[in-house]
Amino acid sequence: MVIDLNDFDEGTVGPWEWDLKRLVASVNVAARENGLDRDERRSAVMRAVYGYRLNARRLQAFGVMDLWYLHSYPGRDNPLFDLDPKTKAVFAKTILKAEHTTSETLLLKTCHRDVDGGWRFFEESPVLTRVDDETARKIVGGFADYCETLPTARRYMLKRYKVVDIAHRIVGVGSVGTRAYLVLMFGSGDEDPLFLQVKEAAPAAHAPYLPPLPELIRHEGARVVATQRALQASIDVLLGSPTSPRPTAIRPNGTTIVW
């Protein structure tokens, strides 16, 4: 388990100052939602900027390879900052929950056996609903394209799985209105499930104000994948995007992937 950046729908190439402004705006909004007054919110924003500046200076001393593969593992001391006891307790609780959230536990929570013995998603309208046959065929077709973009070893591994069911899922606030699907797959029998999330990748909000991206990452799915690979220290082994211009993205077990 690795603690790292997450959610790259808005990942793109642009001025770093914009990224810092978005960060402090998020800190201010989170503080306001938690009932902090104006002075407390200002203090939170200033501490965020201080931490950003402090670690930017620390990272200057790292070699390129050390910096590129800098990891933060739960339960280990971080070389960039110290955690207070209260924060450590929050982390410990979150890690414990994550360790028990596996494909096996998700299967029992979100799926059931049909009368024919096969596994199917529970319908929880409007959050989780079935897809029609045409949509399912398009998703499976996109899955085949996505597989071809994976490294050879991963491609052979993933082709040992079989698609069993597909459902449409409404995702977080920032992605409401975009298409997202859950794909249930099985490998070596019923005790070997794998969940992939297929998610639409829309243009980044900053895109109209920036120069065109390089041709290799101009496809929205490729952009999301490329920025995640560039910014995460530990990359999801199933991260990929399609060669065809279908604006969708996949995530295994809740982590990001794009096809």
Other CB atoms within 10 Å distance of the CB of residue 126? 9
* 212 located within any domain: yes
Note whether 31 and 159 are same-domain residues: no
* 6 located within any domain: no
Among residues 76, 99, 122, the one where a domain terminates is: 99
Instruction: Determine contact, residues 242/234, Cβ cutoff 8 Å.
Output: no
Q: How much is the pLDDT for 175?
A: 72
Note whether 117 and 212 are same-domain residues: yes
Q: How much is the pLDDT for 239?
A: 86
Q: How much is the pLDDT for 72?
A: 67
Q: How much is the pLDDT for 259?
A: 47
Among residues 57, 72, 99, the one where a domain terminates is: 99
- Rounded to 5 degrees, what are φ and ψ at 121? -70, 140
**What is the rounded CA–CA span in Å between residue 235 and residue 228?**
8
* 215 located within any domain: yes
Neighbouring residues of 173: CB distance < 8 A, sequence distance ≥ 6: none
* 257 located within any domain: no
pLDDT in tens, 58-99: 889 899 888 887 776 666 666 566 778 898 888 889 888 888
Q: In a structure prediction context, what are the per-residue pLDDT tens digits for the chain, which is 259 residues long?
A: 666 777 788 899 999 999 899 999 999 999 999 999 999 999 999 999 999 999 899 889 899 888 887 776 666 666 566 778 898 888 889 888 888 888 888 898 899 999 888 999 999 988 899 899 999 999 998 888 888 888 889 988 998 999 999 999 988 766 777 889 999 999 999 889 999 988 888 899 899 999 999 988 888 989 999 998 888 877 788 888 875 444 444 454 444 344 4
Note whether 196 and 76 are same-domain residues: no
Note whether 63 and 148 are same-domain residues: no
Note whether 111 and 217 are same-domain residues: yes
**What is the rounded CA–CA span in Å between residue 259 and residue 256?**
11
Domain count, the chain: 2
* 74 located within any domain: yes
Note whether 59 and 182 are same-domain residues: no
Note whether 225 and 209 are same-domain residues: yes
* 146 located within any domain: yes
Q: What's the domain range around 34?
A: 16-99
Among residues 62, 77, 99, the one where a domain terminates is: 99
Q: How much is the pLDDT for 256?
A: 39
Note whether 214 and 128 are same-domain residues: yes
Note whether 122 and 162 are same-domain residues: yes
3 state DSSP class of 69? coil
Note whether 61 and 150 are same-domain residues: no
Note whether 181 and 146 are same-domain residues: yes
Note whether 201 and 228 are same-domain residues: yes
